């Protein structure tokens, strides 16, 4: 039996799409997606053609009107997933530009209004890990309190996508609420390794030898033809066979390579790329090449 899931996407984040794919594998179905970015919704609709999409400011949508238009009773919905904007919490934004009463920061309250109206079995809120400590923990405590007041058992976790088979060190915080009072267990790690030094990979084998090594960028994209900045690969067959299990997974038996586009870079961006060695990031750039926003955060 396929259950129902509604997705409320605030900031055009790919995280929700990945999360939804996991729900699809577990016999959930996407019912509705909301975003203010039309490009994001076009992508979403392509991947989930049966879902209703709404391109609008989430604050302008009445939760009750939406519930009735979808033909749902309270507590009939399986889950609501959302990722309120993270700019007001992220360390990538200079402290002087972050403040608690930023209207974007308060969109989690709008999200909670939808939870209150639909009363789904499960609630998932995703954001940057800094939200857990930002502004002396005020936002974390408020989200937890509001969900608990509605009867949800709330589990808070901070996860790194690299330890779950994604070739990227993306850390995210999750608030997971269960209406029936059961605490949600943190997903078991599936991959092991040192994200800063891939040569150090054996330290966790003694704990669990079923874990797989981290998926590297090479394993993810080495089958793609090289492009110059600003170039686009014409839609045609892959020029070579998949080189890794991860590439085979992503191809999903597809024979045609699409959306292979190299972003056009400015001279300073090219200099930054050439300056970085394997394993480095923007924090390793020399001062004359470091982005101003990064200099402000130091």
The SS3 of residue 95 is helix
173 touches 132 (CB < 8 A):
yes
Return d(Cα 166, Cα 154) in angstroms, integer.
26
For 223-276, give the DSSP string: TSPP--TT-B--SEE-SS---SHHHHHHHTT--EE---BPPP--HHHHHHHHHP
Distance CA(169)–CA(197), nearest Å, equals 12
Instruction: State both tokens at 52.
Output: 């209703």
Q: How far apart are CA 236 and CA 108, in angstroms?
A: 43
DSSP 27: T
Cβ contact 89:83 at 8 Å = no
Measure the CA–CA gap between 64 and 74, rounded to whole angstroms: 10
21 classed as catalytic:
no
Q: Which residues contact 135 (CB under 8 A, 6 or more apart)?
A: 100
Spot the catalytic one: 19, 86, 178, 297: 86
Which ranges constitute the DSSP H helices of the chain? 14-25, 38-47, 63-69, 107-118, 134-149, 217-221, 245-251, 267-275, 292-297
- Burial class of residue 46 (count of CB atoms within 10 Å of its CB; 0-12, 13-18, 19+): exposed
Just list the catalytic residues: 86
């Amino acid at each position: 039996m396929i259950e129902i899931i509604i997705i409320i996407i605030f900031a055009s984040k790919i995280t929700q799409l990945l999360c939804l794919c996991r729900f699809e594998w577990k016999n959930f179905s996407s019912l509705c997606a909301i975003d203010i970015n039309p490009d994001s919704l076009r992508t979403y609709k392509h991947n989930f053609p049966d879902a209703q999409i709404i391109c609008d400011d989430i604050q302008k949508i009445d939760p009750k009107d939406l519930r009735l238009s979808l033909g749902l009773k309270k507590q009939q919905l399986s889950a609501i997933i959302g990722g309120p904007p993270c700019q007001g919490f992220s360390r990538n934004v200079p402290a002087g530009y972050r403040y608690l009463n930023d209207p974007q920061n308060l969109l989690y309250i709008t999200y909670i209004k939808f939870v209150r109206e639909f009363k789904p079995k499960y609630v998932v809120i995703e954001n940057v890990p800094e939200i857990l400590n930002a502004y002396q923990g005020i936002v974390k405590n408020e989200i937890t309190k509001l969900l608990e007041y509605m009867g949800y058992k709330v589990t808070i976790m901070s996860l790194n996508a690299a330890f779950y088979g994604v070739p990227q060190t993306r850390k995210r915080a999750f608030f997971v609420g269960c209406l029936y009072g059961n605490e949600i267990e943190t997903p078991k790690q599936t991959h092991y390794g040192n994200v800063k030094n891939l040569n150090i990979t054996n330290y966790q084998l003694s704990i669990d030898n079923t874990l797989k090594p981290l998926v590297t960028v090479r394993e993810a994209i080495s089958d793609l033809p090289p492009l110059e900045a600003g170039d686009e690969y014409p839609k045609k067959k892959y020029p070579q066979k998949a080189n890794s299990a991860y590439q085979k997974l992503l191809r999903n038996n597809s024979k045609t390579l699409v959306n292979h586009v190299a972003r056009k870079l400015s001279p300073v961006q090219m200099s930054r790329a050439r300056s970085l060695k394997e394993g480095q990031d923007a924090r390793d750039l020399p001062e004359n090449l470091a982005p101003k926003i990064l200099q402000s955060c130091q």
